[in-house]
Amino acid sequence: MEKKLHTFFQSGLLDKYILDETSASESLKVEHYIDTYPEVKSEYERLQNNLEIIAKASAVEAPKFILDNILEEIEEDSIPVIQLDKKQRSTPWYSIAASIVALLFAGGYYMKTQQNLDLLEENQVVVDEIFDLRNDIEENNKRLDNLMHEFMKLNNPETEKYVFRGNDRAKDLKTVAYINPVDETSMIDVVSLPQLPEDQTYQLWAEMQDRMINLGILDASQKNLQSIPYVKDALALSITIQDKDRLDRTEADSAVAEIDLNKKNN
């Protein structure tokens, strides 16, 4: 059975199923494995959790362009019917009939011309909206590509997960770091950061043997997955509370959360 599960995991079907890229027969096979094998179910839940984490990075509000104009019905202008006197005349009024025909022709020509102008204007509106829609689709495709790229990073078996938990000075702090020492990539997910006074901010540091390396400010409003500098041979990562006018150095007791990178590297 272990060989069978190994072959299934190596096939990549579970990843494709999570991303809704499997065929009907492949989906049935994956669902059978999820229902039958606890190992597959556990891995499926882990992938779902990873996908939920990175989905925040591409949260996008629905486009606000107007497409109602495309669906509006273009009503055909009706040509008014002139009721002619049915009273029989002994003498045909050719001149009057000719005038009526001329008026009808002129009126119809004017109405048709005006209708064509209106159609041209509406067509231009539709063209503009289609162009905007195409730009939105291209932008969404770029976001999807970025989302897929981050998902693959999280799903990499070499990626380690570290959870920052705040001490008494920041009890509600929770942040998750994802570090891949093979690809030398690092990402951080800001889950929650307690509010600070306006003159203070959170800052991320990498601890080396002989010094601390500044990795940048953590913004409480940026609650999404974001890349951070990878520091080779770092012993630990820490989050400190800093005065905004003293961001270039940190005190020994200013850390409010730390993770030891050696625990998983050894």
Q: How far apart are CA 23 and CA 2, in angstroms?
A: 25
| Distances in whole angstroms, Cα of residue 87 to Cα of each of 42, 80, 95, 157 | 92, 21, 18, 96
CB 172 within 8 A of CB 192: yes
Domain count, the chain: 3
Q: Are residues 137 and 179 in the same domain?
A: no
Boundary-marking domain end, from 132, 153, 174: 153
- Mean of the pLDDT values across residues 73-94? 49
Q: Is residue 63 part of a domain?
A: no
Boundary-marking domain end, from 34, 58, 82: 58
Query: Is the pLDDT confidence value at 10 over 60?
Result: yes
* Domain boundaries, position 110: 68-153
Q: Are residues 139 and 216 in the same domain?
A: no
Between 166 and 120, whose confidence is greater? 166
Q: Are residues 72 and 106 in the same domain?
A: yes
Boundary-marking domain end, from 93, 119, 153: 153
Q: Are residues 27 and 99 in the same domain?
A: no
Q: Are residues 176 and 234 in the same domain?
A: yes
- Mean of the pLDDT values across residues 24-38? 89
Q: Are residues 128 and 110 in the same domain?
A: yes
pLDDT of residue 62: 45
| Distances in whole angstroms, Cα of residue 175 to Cα of each of 82, 200, 243 | 79, 18, 20
Element (H, E) at 257: strand 255-260
State the average pLDDT for the chain. 75
Query: Is the pLDDT confidence value at 57 over 80?
Result: no
Q: Residue 17 CA to chain centroid, in angstroms?
A: 19
Q: Are residues 173 and 206 in the same domain?
A: yes
pLDDT of residue 78: 45
Q: Is residue 200 part of a domain?
A: yes
Q: Are residues 32 and 53 in the same domain?
A: yes
Query: Is the pLDDT confidence value at 218 over 70?
Result: yes
Q: Is residue 119 part of a domain?
A: yes
Q: Are residues 240 and 184 in the same domain?
A: yes
Q: Is residue 186 part of a domain?
A: yes
Q: Are residues 107 and 197 in the same domain?
A: no
